[in-house]
Chain A
Amino acid sequence: MTASRFPADEVAAALGGPVALLGAGSFGDTWRYQDTAVKIICADGYPPQRLIREVNGLTKVSSPHVVRLLDTRMVTLGGKQRPALVTEFIAGGDVAGRIRAGRWPSPAEGVAFLAGLLTGVRDMHAAGVVHRDIKPANIALRDGDWSRPVLLDLGLARGADEATITVYPAQVGTAWYMAPEQLEGRRARKAADLFAAGVTVREVLSQRHPFYDDGANYIYADMIGLIGKGPQPLPAGTPDPVVGLLDRLTAVPEHERGSAPSSLRRLGLTG
């Protein structure tokens, strides 16, 4: 894990009690403090719009599959006031950690993970929020249960109805989970979240990325080409409806991915 920007004892003093580092991102560190996760924005140049978006996104959504925002506050670190988001702490770690540790879900757990993830995406989209950066590191497993995924880090989230502040063409998100339209620098809409969810679920079911080789370097054009060739097949024994749904979710044309509600219906669940 990358080192934190500020020492734990300074953060503990600022927050008022013992802390444990949960993760260090590009712009800030996330600490566990009591039963909460506190994301402290450390980078001086952090775009305020991005923070506002995350707060707006989290405020709009109410779902057991999307992390719950508890508070926003200012924290003094390094002699400066820094904004912080306080969310519920999801015990159980994230999917990226599971992948690194080689702790894969059983086929049944993988299907339950897909259903939970789609439920979170549905609830987020219903609130008018597009995540735009769904990936294993942004999905926690509540109590370590694959059937209870929780979407984290809405820092790139955008209101589906709000005028974008991103100047296109520009890539927004994490390249390995980006939909082809994002790689092309076009707007990421709800379909991009569904693509990323589909890639993530395929990855944990197949124990490999569906489009890219581990450790390889690609330029965006190569990645678009590989997506166009189609994903790696899913393991034998994966139920047909799940194969069909995951093929749809990772399709190149946006409309073929459908919506989260229609995807849930394909799993036999209420959309």
Chain B
Amino acid sequence: MSNHFPHDDEDLFSEGLFGDDLPGEDLPGEDLPGEDADEPADAVSGSGQVAARLPGGSGYLIVDGPGAGSVTGSSAGSDIREAAALPGRDGALDGTLPVLIVHRAPHHSRALPRLLAQLHAAAGANLALGVASSLPMAAEQSHADFNSACTAAAVRLVDPLGYLADPQDLRVKQPSPRSRGWAPYLDGAAFTAGDLLNMQRDRGANLLLTSGRALDPADAQASLDAACAEGDEALALLKPEERLALNLTMSAAWLTRPVLLHALLAQLVDQEQFDTWHVRVQWPGSVRSGAQPAGAALLAGYRQLAEVAADEERRLLLPQTGLTGWLMLAFGAAGFGTGLSGSYQAFTEPAGGGGGKPRIERYFERQLLHTVERTARPVLTADPGYAPCPCPYCPPLFAAAAWSHQYAGLHYLFSAGTLAAEVSPAAAGRRGTHGAVGRKVRTARAFADGKGLTGNSEPTHLRAWDQLL
């Protein structure tokens, strides 16, 4: 299968981290995975292929080796090794596996099906994968093609981003006329819950969402009631085997102000009909691109939300949270979302300016749980305890003379997935996910100690994380 998605999708966010929004920087050969000499080295099997059985047993996905990301009828080839079977949507959301949701950015999304397949090869049965597209970002066919190509993704979301219609409650970049054309509900057009569900179905989603309108902190209870009423309407319209997540979008105040946090948690616990929560929280603009929020109140709010979800056996998905979402796996979150670009790794208030600045070459250091500037790497790699990254994207990244922001981004995504797999209940051992996350955070702190990292390269979040754990 080749993955051809139109390149005319819309960027809904403004910030880049690994060089998103840079047309012309596509990976060589990404349209034809496995058929290009420049494709990344195989992660797991050397020259042989590895295949994973598709949910329902209807074929195999090549997850490693030549052709990774493509589907085959059987694994009967002499050189094909069989990997763990791919979970289906409900298996991915049964609470036993962490879920990494990869957000589709407007550019470079053609590399994602292969990345997902390779992640499955590396993580095996310790990770479930998902993809999330922004409904107003692209035309219907583009979404459908993308979701169809992401065979390794057990969970497929097409998020309506209803909050874009609520600039009074959140600081958001206004969508372009083209985006509004793809998502006319953002213009206040008469749209029913059924219309919104149909749009997601038509675009290939298998976990449907409510609109995700922003919650109004000035009228908290009414706002929560309205969100749940919309959810009830959507639940009543589900077809057999369909599944819905209550999609909530809110400012950070909802997690930092006790009165709002208590109202939110009380509502979520009370409304037992919603078994999956998709909660997006806008971080303050002061959180730098590539960094994690270190505010104690915000982290404590996330922690309470995750703990309540775990206690109530609901699935909490935290889109656009990056490594902060990974941290919340320790407290009971079911999954987190991140993407190639900074704006998909964090849902922050848009920062002013930024245009015309030179691009910074950055690299995610998994040992440090942080993205550093390339110029800061020598002090890290000189440490005898430094472990080179085993992902398939690092060899070509470091072999090329010019820095590839896209390879750096794919390395980040791969690392986020393997980090999640390493703290999964099955991999974490006796002390569980909480213990495994704690060990990684303490190890990262120790590794950062004495390195003199400053500015964007300083992992200021680690101390706050350690305290939270």
- A residues with a Cβ closer than 8 A to B are 125-126, 160-161, 189-191, 253-255, 257-259, 261-262, 265, 271
Contact = CB atoms under 8 A, between A and B. Distances in A.
B300 interface: no
A161 B235 CA distance: 13
B269 A255 contact: yes
Given A258-B311, A259-B312, A262-B312, A191 B269 contact: yes
Contacts of A262: 311-313
A253 B262 contact: yes
A191 B312 contact: no
26 contacts: A125-B272, A126-B272, A160-B270, A161-B232, A189-B266, A190-B269, A190-B272, A191-B266, A191-B270, A253-B262, A254-B269, A254-B270, A255-B262, A255-B265, A255-B266, A255-B268, A258-B269, A258-B311, A258-B312, A259-B269, A259-B270, A259-B272, A261-B312, A261-B313, A262-B312, A271-B313
B419 interface: no
A257 B265 CA distance: 11
B308 interface: yes
Contacts of A254: 262, 265-266, 269-270
Contacts of B268: 255
A178 B232 CA distance: 28
Interface string B236-268: 000000000000000000000000001001101
Nearest to B265: A255
Contacts of B312: 258-259, 261-262
Contacts of B262: 253-255
A259 B266 CA distance: 10
Nearest to A190: B270
The secondary-structure label for the interface of chain A is helix
A263 B232 CA distance: 24
Contacts of A160: 270
Contacts of A189: 266, 270
Given A254-B269, A255-B269, A257-B269, 5 more contacts: A253-B266, A255-B265, A255-B268, A262-B312, A265-B313
A262 B270 CA distance: 12
A137 to B, nearest CB: 25
Contact of A255 (B232, B272, B308, B313): B308
A234 to B, nearest CB: 22
A261 B270 CA distance: 11
A259 B270 CA distance: 7
Interface string B388-429: 000000000000000000000000000000000000000000
Contacts of B232: 161
Contacts of A191: 266, 269-270
B95 to A, nearest CB: 13
A182 to B, nearest CB: 13
A128 B262 CA distance: 22
Interface string B287-315: 00000000000000000000010011100
A166 to B, nearest CB: 15
Interface string B302-335: 0000001001110000000000000000000000
B288 to A, nearest CB: 32
Contacts of A257: 269
